[in-house]
Structure 1
């Protein structure tokens, strides 16, 4: 079976997009946290941010053309990719694809595969939390009546929100900050569900295989039919 051009492209550009995503986060972080940096440095970071965003857009267009689908159909089948293109800070959400591949597995349980999903989900949660803390800090720290004044406050709020604990001691007050909060809540539930679902699926498969291995030979369905025949 030969791979389609789209599959070959996605394998080829995976590492490039990963590096571009890290550059995007790094340049955005420097612009948000580097209050005392020279203007030239901040301008360079803005240029890197825009360049990586443009790279994401080019990749999106190339994958659309290689898919051979009309744009409305491609848009419906790649809603997550479209959302990530519009909001590059959500690029860690692409872990959903890996999780879907695990759910489609039909063979024996494979701990390394499930373990990779849990590890990828943890990395995605960390990257997503980092991006969300930057976004909410940028919107909140100078707002009137804000409770998130420092980046440490933003990190604390992100941890409590992403883990679905929500102490409520610090909360966003701006419209964009609250929009980030809504997205982070949804992502926290999705990532937590991915971890617990993958781990539970692996445990169920392992216990089922152990139960089949411990079944006495005389109690097997085939043995019962042979006894009745005799």
Structure 2
């Protein structure tokens, strides 16, 4: 059995469990951040789920590295998986793989490429926005001179940042909050570029099809 087939079988078996782990990670993190009066026992449960989810990502990464047979090149060729493992903010993005896995098992995607790009980008914006708002609120609301005082403020700021608007009415003041802000800006630009490029390509295809179907001489 080749390395590729073994790795593909492993990925097919672990996609759904890892997506569930991502969802549980996001829920536990949200409860931990938003429930300020959480009892110690429930706080311990949330922390255990968060660390268990990270351990699942780490095991999956190590196994796929081993099965790939690429050695250190695996890190470079799977840079997104490396970022998801290192940066907690990106772990909820694994939930998007549920849709992709279902489409592959059905033999072919039901949606055309442009619709899939918009769908993936929309899900990614929602997941990144929620996780980013949680992270910024956690590090900002109690900081001296903070302007992001409530979770609503954090959601508003995150939405403006991902949309590359940047009103400036609220902004992070802590070093970690600003690092998260830079990451969200980069993600917002990348997702906006993907959606814009896909929409432009779709429009060009529509106009080209209309020109080809137009009777000669008109």
TM-score scaled to structure 2, two decimals? 0.86
Conserved? CA contact 2:19–2:95, under 8 Å: no
- Separation in 2 of the partners of 1:54 and 1:182? 27
- Separation in 2 of the partners of 1:207 and 1:8? 41
Q: Deviations over 1:33-80 (max 9, x none)?
A: 11111110011000000000000001101111111111x211111111
Q: Does 1:192 align with 2:192?
A: yes
Change beyond 3 A, Cα 1:215–1:65: farther
Q: What is the aligned length?
A: 204
* Structure 1 position 7, deviation (Å): 2.0
- What RMSD, in angstroms, separates the aligned Cα atoms of the two structures? 2.3
Conserved? CA contact 1:25–1:89, under 8 Å: no
Counterpart in 1 of 2:88?
88
Counterpart in 2 of 1:26?
27
Q: Does 1:10 align with 2:3?
A: no
With a CA cutoff of 8 Å and minimum separation of 6, indicate the structure with the bigger relative contact order. Answer: 2
Worse-matched range after superposition: 84-93 or 49-58: 84-93
Q: Does 1:148 align with 2:148?
A: yes
Worse-matched range after superposition: 161-170 or 111-120: 111-120
Change beyond 3 A, Cα 1:152–1:184: same
Change beyond 3 A, Cα 1:111–1:28: closer
Conserved? CA contact 2:22–2:93, under 8 Å: no
Q: Deviations over 1:137-174 (max 9, x none)?
A: 11001100000111111111101111110000000000
Change beyond 3 A, Cα 1:202–1:91: farther
Counterpart in 1 of 2:161?
161
Q: Which runs of 5+ in 2 are unaligned?
A: 98-109
* Structure 1 position 215, deviation (Å): 5.6
Q: Does 1:56 align with 2:84?
A: no
* Structure 1 position 91, deviation (Å): 3.1
TM-score scaled to structure 1, two decimals? 0.82
Q: Which runs of 5+ in 1 are unaligned?
A: 98-109, 219-230
Change beyond 3 A, Cα 1:59–1:111: closer
- Separation in 1 of the partners of 2:209 and 2:58? 46
- Separation in 1 of the partners of 2:54 and 2:211? 51
- Separation in 2 of the partners of 1:46 and 1:6? 30
Q: Secondary structure at the match of 2:112?
A: helix
Counterpart in 2 of 1:115?
115
Q: Secondary structure at the match of 1:35?
A: coil
